[in-house]
Structure 1
Amino acid sequence: MNSAHVPAVGHRLPVRTRLGYALGSLSTGAFGTVPGLLLLPYLTDTLAVSASAAGLLVLLPKAWDVLFNPVAGRISDRTRTRIGPRRPYLIGGGVALAICFAGLFAGPTTSSTGAALYVAGMFLLCATAFAFFQVPYNALPAELTEDPTERTRLTAWRIAVLAIAILVSGAGAPAVRDAVGGTDGYRVMGVAVGVLIVVGAVGVFLGTARAPHTRVLPSVSSWGEVVQAIRECRPFRWLLGAFVVQAVGIGTMLAGVDYLARVAIGDKGVQPLLFVAFVAPALLVMPVWQRVSARYGKRTGYVLATLVFAVGALGLLGTRVLPVGVVIACAAVVGVGYAGVQVFPLAMLPDVISAEERRTGQIRAGLFAGVWTAGETLGLALGPALYGLVLAIGGYVSSAGEDVAQPAGAVTAVVLGIGLVPAVFVLAGLPLLRRRIVEV
């Protein structure tokens, strides 16, 4: 078996390492947000692709990642270089992702069929490059420190930068698109987001350059061992299941923001406000969730954050009758829950990995991170696909850029898709969280 390095126990990470690791969230936040926010509207309202077909086109390239991410995890576990484990993929995968993302919105627009196929192919390349960045990135916390408190602190830094990345890309991308206008607006936006992705990749690559690695463990080497490792670790399966189910709800929520502003509220200028309300609370409440974790435990905090998210989502069902300010306030409640729903599972994952590595004497970080990333990718891809299906059922009318009056059923679908559907999926993760998940 091959081997990989794991750091010494009980040390506090330097600020350079914490900040450097967190900067990788600029890349993950940008790619995790912008396609979910704008790719579906780009297909339906610029390329005139039907809502159901657009949802499928967003889903299929991501579905590939479900198969490929565990492969990326195994490759990452078994790679040894003079610049350290994982790190070559952080820079290589990040730069490749930036280039592919810039090309995602730069394809032909003369034929809706040809344009749709181009988008699907380029999105597939983006997803593959993202796997090589995201899987090693998710594996790092278990290897940077074995102190559970330090892991929570490291994850909190990551989520804080993630919130900034989501805020900048989620509010900035539509603003750039609308400022330039039309197809060119999407192309300029793609390049701008690509630059943000590169900054994140370079930041995490340089920031983790001096991270300590002292112990050596054997790694999983065959597919049979991969399957066995997942089957034996029930806490990982329970945590992953809750996270994936909730990712579907989050993906649906992101896909619906643009439609909620344009169709349900009737003012696309509200879209940045809605998105800021959704993301900005994470920067304010992250210390609160850390204190909840320290006092009541990560699992309890996770459950509480889930309930807060659901309450805010259900409040959005009143969009058609409530003042815009109240709708934005509901989005802010969602944002408070969203911060916890992100930080707690990511803080619990390294605990699960380390417990399993102690039990087996084998390194599992890349393997579990690969499967985790595959599940997250699938969940976030199913969200827009599901939202597209809801729009299709409601009779949403696609267009090639012109304003189209939507039927009443489509307006109802827009609201249900961003309110009821996310709440149902986020709450569906609660039964799995009742299980005993490793928490130290």
Structure 2
Amino acid sequence: MAEMQNKHRLPLLTKLIYGSGDMFGGGSLMLIGFFYLFFMTEVAGLNPGLAGMVLLLGKGWDAVSDPLMGWLSDRTRSRFGRRRIYFLAGIAPIFICFTLLWMVPPFSSQIGTFLFFLTANVLFNTTLTMVMIPYNALVPELTPDYDERSSLTGFRLAFSNIASLLSAAVPMLIVDAFASPANGYLVMAMTFGLLFALPFLGVFLVSFETTKEVSKSRFNLLGDVTQALSNRSFRRLVGVYLPTFLGVDVISAVMVYYLTYVLGRGEGMQVSMVLGLLLLCQTLALPVYVKIARTRGKHVSYTTGALIWMILLPVLWFFTPETPFAVVLVLAAMVGMGTAGAGFSPWAMFPDVIDVDELVTGKRRQGIYSGVMTFMRKISSALALAVVGWMIDWSGYIANDDTIAQPDGFLTMVRFLVAVFPIFLVLTGLWFCRRYPLNQQRHDKLRNILATRPAGTADLSGEAGELADLLYGPLPDDINNEVS
């Protein structure tokens, strides 16, 4: 067993360079999550309701394109493999499209501004999908080992958190260095666009693919979603993943409003300190959760982080402008320690549900699962963020006018979105986590079965059938006919 594990160990350099690719996935989404709604309403002057529609339609397109990209990456033929070619192709579009997001359009009308931001979002989200779906799907190709996958996910999320830290702490410092906020945001976008784009040259060079099979089946979005959700382990994982990251999305979207209007801490340095400290502690806590995942299980690492996060959230309701800034910073640090575990664990679990699918189908279909998983998140996230924009609009928010105090209804709405609503989402994630059937012992049995049977076969006799029944559940008719 030890010899087999050593065989599948990845060099440290490979882990580091592969992990650096998630600076784009984690950093860009963190930067957009914290500042984009605020930028569109405060700097570009877009109505919050229309800004919510930009997020809804942009992310809606993003969600629809994800399964298509998963299907395409499973079927791509190139000299560089099925996934790696997209890392090379995405370098320039990452820089260009991210920069477009943060340009203030030269239109005086709300409709013109809305259409500009919508177009920029569609272009950016297309690029994000083109690169990140193959990137997510590559983990099971790099190693079949349970612990190595946890380690690889840890490196990836460490870089994601480093980029998220920079994306939280640095943008407002750059913006505040310019007399014009519009110019500041543009320079900030160009700086981070380079940071997100360049690592993919290294990812392309060090990554490899072990699966040479190219799927020839037709694209069937509904069929892919239905079949993926027939996998019990995947279903439960989605139940953990979606509520957790929806909580992150909602809090991120309103956090700058919370700091600016509820706490009166809207100066660039103070915003950078709060968000930066939160992300720094999240990054520092990550190795602890990797250790917990290895020794106690990935479900335990999630539960630990989610409970810390959930217990601290209500405190935010009671903060006021009179709350000492040091207390705000301490709570931000503690929240970061909790969100580290809640954010790490679902993606650490993801490669293992691909093994469950291979057990019953004999195929490696990580592209479909990666596409479906992010499809479901982005559809739900699009709806949630649109509702956040509409709720801010309905609550009486007054954009970019320091001479008028924000109404109490708006301040109460922001408190609710930051301190109360996410609690229900975290509770949902914990409920599904308790019912997640795939622990390390069962995964070891699963890997042994896959290692000892011919590739591409799906023999479910004996122990394999018992494990499939426990981890996958009843087989759909199309799969059942194939293995019968």
- Residues in 2 aligned to 1:386 and 1:202: alpha-carbon distance in whole angstroms: 38
Which residue of the partner structure matches residue 422 of structure 2?
A: 422
- Residues in 1 aligned to 2:371 and 2:7: alpha-carbon distance in whole angstroms: 26
1:48 and 2:48 aligned: no
Which residue of the partner structure matches residue 476 of structure 2?
A: none
From the superposition, tell whether residues 214 and 406 of structure 1 become closer, same or farther in structure 2 (CA, over 3 Å).
Answer: closer
- Unaligned 5+ residue runs, structure 2? 444-484
SS at match of 2:138: helix
CA contact (8 A) 1:236 1:352 kept: yes
- Residues in 2 aligned to 1:231 and 1:376: alpha-carbon distance in whole angstroms: 14
Structure 1 position 379, deviation (Å): 4.3
- Residues in 1 aligned to 2:226 and 2:245: alpha-carbon distance in whole angstroms: 25
Which residue of the partner structure matches residue 263 of structure 1?
A: 261
The one-character-per-residue Cα deviations of 1:324-373 (angstroms, maximum 9, x if unpaired) are: 22222222222112111121111100001122113211121100011112
Identity of aligned residues (%): 32
SS at match of 2:79: coil
The one-character-per-residue Cα deviations of 1:138-157 (angstroms, maximum 9, x if unpaired) are: 10111111100000000000
Counterpart residue type for residue 345 of structure 1: P
Which residue of the partner structure matches residue 467 of structure 2?
A: none
SS at match of 1:268: coil
From the superposition, tell whether residues 116 and 278 of structure 1 become closer, same or farther in structure 2 (CA, over 3 Å).
Answer: same
Structure 1 position 386, deviation (Å): 3.5
Which residue of the partner structure matches residue 446 of structure 2?
A: none
1:183 and 2:186 aligned: no
From the superposition, tell whether residues 51 and 250 of structure 1 become closer, same or farther in structure 2 (CA, over 3 Å).
Answer: same
1:385 and 2:376 aligned: no
SS at match of 1:322: coil
The one-character-per-residue Cα deviations of 1:228-247 (angstroms, maximum 9, x if unpaired) are: 52142121122113211221
Alignment match of 2:234 (pick from 220, 223, 236): 236
Which residue of the partner structure matches residue 375 of structure 2?
A: 374
Which residue of the partner structure matches residue 478 of structure 2?
A: none
1:59 and 2:60 aligned: no
Pairing of 1:257-296 with structure 2 (within 5 A): 257-269=255-267, 270-296=270-296
Which residue of the partner structure matches residue 354 of structure 1?
A: 355
- Residues in 2 aligned to 1:179 and 1:430: alpha-carbon distance in whole angstroms: 43
CA contact (8 A) 2:285 2:340 kept: yes
Which residue of the partner structure matches residue 253 of structure 1?
A: 251
Which residue of the partner structure matches residue 140 of structure 1?
A: 138
SS at match of 1:76: helix
SS at match of 1:284: helix
Structure 1 position 292, deviation (Å): 1.4
Counterpart residue type for residue 175 of structure 1: L
- Residues in 1 aligned to 2:37 and 2:219: alpha-carbon distance in whole angstroms: 38
Which residue of the partner structure matches residue 126 of structure 1?
A: 124
Structure 1 position 80, deviation (Å): 2.2
Query: Bigger radius of gyration, 1 or 2?
Result: 2
- Residues in 2 aligned to 1:419 and 1:140: alpha-carbon distance in whole angstroms: 36
- Unaligned 5+ residue runs, structure 1? 1-6
The 10-residue stretch of structure 1 (407-416 or 153-162) with the greater mean CA deviation from structure 2: 407-416
CA contact (8 A) 1:263 1:406 kept: yes
From the superposition, tell whether residues 198 and 385 of structure 1 become closer, same or farther in structure 2 (CA, over 3 Å).
Answer: same
Counterpart residue type for residue 337 of structure 2: V
Which residue of the partner structure matches residue 97 of structure 2?
A: 100
SS at match of 2:291: helix
From the superposition, tell whether residues 91 and 229 of structure 1 become closer, same or farther in structure 2 (CA, over 3 Å).
Answer: same
- Residues in 2 aligned to 1:119 and 1:225: alpha-carbon distance in whole angstroms: 33
Which residue of the partner structure matches residue 39 of structure 1?
A: 36
SS at match of 1:85: coil
Which residue of the partner structure matches residue 300 of structure 2?
A: 300
SS at match of 2:90: helix
Which residue of the partner structure matches residue 447 of structure 2?
A: none
Which residue of the partner structure matches residue 3 of structure 1?
A: none
Structure 1 position 384, deviation (Å): 3.3
The one-character-per-residue Cα deviations of 1:264-301 (angstroms, maximum 9, x if unpaired) are: 11122321111012211122211211221122211122
Which residue of the partner structure matches residue 203 of structure 2?
A: 204
The one-character-per-residue Cα deviations of 1:156-210 (angstroms, maximum 9, x if unpaired) are: 00111111000112211222122223211121112112111112322322232xx
Which residue of the partner structure matches residue 4 of structure 1?
A: none
What is the aligned-residue RMSD (CA, Å)?
2.2
Number of residues paired by the alignment?
431
Q: TM-score, normalised by structure 2?
A: 0.84
The one-character-per-residue Cα deviations of 1:111-144 (angstroms, maximum 9, x if unpaired) are: 2331121011111111111111111111011111
Structure 1 position 14, deviation (Å): 0.9
From the superposition, tell whether residues 28 and 232 of structure 1 become closer, same or farther in structure 2 (CA, over 3 Å).
Answer: same
Which residue of the partner structure matches residue 329 of structure 1?
A: 330
SS at match of 1:429: helix
Q: TM-score, normalised by structure 1?
A: 0.92
The 10-residue stretch of structure 1 (383-392 or 161-170) with the greater mean CA deviation from structure 2: 383-392
- Residues in 1 aligned to 2:388 and 2:326: alpha-carbon distance in whole angstroms: 24
SS at match of 1:428: helix
| RCO higher in structure (CA 8 A, sep ≥6) | 1
- Residues in 2 aligned to 1:217 and 1:89: alpha-carbon distance in whole angstroms: 16
